[in-house]
Amino acid sequence: MAAKTQVYRWDFNVFDFAQSVKGKPLYNVTMALLQDQGLLDGWLLDRPVVEAYLTRVESMYKPNPYHNNTHAADVTQTAGVIMCALDARLRYGSSDGSASSSSSCCSSCCNVGGGTVGSKLANALACCTLPHAKAAATAAVAAAQAPPSAAAGNPAQPPQPLAASGGSPGGGLAKLERFAIILASAVHDLGHPGVNNAFLVRSRDKHALTYNDRSVNENMHASLAFTLAAEEPGLNLFARFSPAEYEQVRKLVLDMVLSTDMDVHFKLLKAFEDELASAPDVATWASLEQRSLLFQMLVHLADLANPSRPWHLALTWAEWVVTEFLQQVRRPGRGGHGMRGVRGQGRREASCGLAVSDMCNEAKVCMPAAQLFFIERFMLPTLEAFRPAAPAFYRLALPWLGDTRAKWEAFKAGGVKLPRTGYPALPPGGEAQLCAVLEGSSGCTCSASHAQGQVQEQQQQVLARIGQQQ
């Protein structure tokens, strides 16, 4: 399977991948993860049923600019990367990530044999090209390949087989838990209408009436996922599950999908931080509620993680989300869906006679400022909070997040509001600042003309892509 060689890489380009698999990125990414996790054959799942279910799920993602099947595939792949880091931490890692072991939940990564945590992290970090990212990669791989520290209370252990059930200290993630994480990620935006909960409530949408104005989209996503399995012939993923297994998976999936509602972000972070304060070692979290809290944070983090991808990916996602908020677009869908006639939320608000939200108002939105706010208010605190649970992922994502933040700061300083409006001349001193950003270093000795050349090259690339969207 094509996705299997890429499914744990942090430079995974889901846009190119979607084209290579003819518009079915979610199906292929999810199948690759299920296969690699040992969940398709010899476990509880029936492969033909899974294939039929995922095909149906992918078809139910709407051709929105952002909340589409490509986004779902990206979040699912991200969750797979974080899941490997969490599994390594639960099995063998210390709270600061200074120790790891020779086994993880990933059985393959980038065609590297051996199945060790070191090889998985080495390949996940192989995409790091910035100087500061390379340093983080080197440290992370060294830590992953180091023997467990006796001083940290982690005596050396032989590689362990995949756990049949989780919840015991040192047991890693159970297969049932891994399945729940992958499934929740794949369906977390199922049927998304391309507008947020506030719009649905204000417009008195039928889903808002059904779900009493609470986590409207997220309740709808979860309900659709389980309704498909329960009511459509040939799609019952859970036919071989015992009542207790089904009950556990349903609870975990519901909790994870509902946790992606941004309205519960601060409540979720506080609950997680409070639990960490009372039990600092997540490897001791054995109750179903504690495990659920871990996985809610994992999927929520995966859903926020776009800015911590390499810049060309982070920029593309920023363009897509702004497009969904603002614009009526006519463009071919990278995920295999056409986008003709899709209307941005701001225009839909206006057409309904509603006040246009600030984030959907083209006259008020500044994309660099909005992205910086998102990073500083949501993404970075979530990444920092989850660091004790997945330190290897923290080391992987943080340098790229810093790089993305620096670029947005430079564009904001240069007066950029929306990419399609073009990039005006930078303010005095801005050339050197942006050159340093583009060079990925803390300083730059090259000339201002060279800096401006790099700026213009990047502008042309972005504007060419934006021009194709109009």
Q: Which helix (H) or strand (E) holds 65?
A: none
Position with higher pLDDT, 15 vs 150:
15
The CATH code belonging to domain 2-304 is 1.10.1300.10
- Answer yes or no: is pLDDT of 305 > 70: yes
DSSP-derived 3-state class of residue 34: helix
- pLDDT value of residue 337: 37
Give the length of the chain.
470
pLDDT of residue 93: 67
pLDDT (0 to 100) of residue 100: 39
User: For the residues 278-297, what does the mean pLDDT come to?
Assistant: 97
**pLDDT at residue 76 in the model:** 98
pLDDT band of residue 144 (cuts 50, 70, 90) is: very low
Q: Look up residue 29 and give its two tokens.
A: 């990414």
Distance (Å, whole) CA 237 – CA 313 = 33
Q: Residue 28: which residues within 8 A CB-CB, separation 6 or more?
A: 1, 2, 3, 17, 21, 73
* Domain residue limits, the chain: 2-304, 422-470
Q: What is the mean pLDDT of residues 90-94?
A: 79
- Extract the tokens encoding 375: 């990073």
pLDDT tens figures, 28-67: 999 999 999 999 999 999 999 999 999 999 999 999 989 9
- More confident site: 105 or 421: 105
Angle at 362 between CA 358 and CA 367, to 5 degrees: 80
Hey, what amino acid is at 418? L
Query: d(Cα 4, Cα 110) in Å, to the nearest integer?
Result: 7
DSSP summary character for residue 189: T
- Could you tell me the pLDDT band of residue 205, with boundaries at 50, 70 and 90? confident
Q: Which of 311, 292, 300 is nearest to 379 (CA)?
A: 300
* Mean pLDDT calculated for residue range 84-98: 77
The 10s digit of each residue's pLDDT in 423-435 is: 333 334 444 443 3
Which DSSP helix (H) or strand (E) runs through 434?
helix 430-439
Euclidean distance between the first and the last CA atom of the chain, given in angstroms as a whole number: 35
The whole-chain average pLDDT of the chain stands at: 76
Per the model's pLDDT, the better-predicted residue between 110 and 308 turns out to be 308
Q: Where are the beta strands (DSSP E) in 124-187?
A: none
Tell me which DSSP letter residue 424 carries: P
* Of 195 and 347, the one with more pLDDT: 195
Give the Cα separation of 339 and 69 in Å (integer).
Answer: 13
**Contact indicator for 294, 282 with CB cutoff of 8 Å:** yes
Tracing tokens 């997540």 back to the chain, one arrives at 282
331 close to 469: Cβ distance less than 8 angstroms:
yes
**Confidence at residue 125, expressed as pLDDT on a 0 to 100 scale:** 47
pLDDT tens digits, 207-221: 999 999 999 999 999
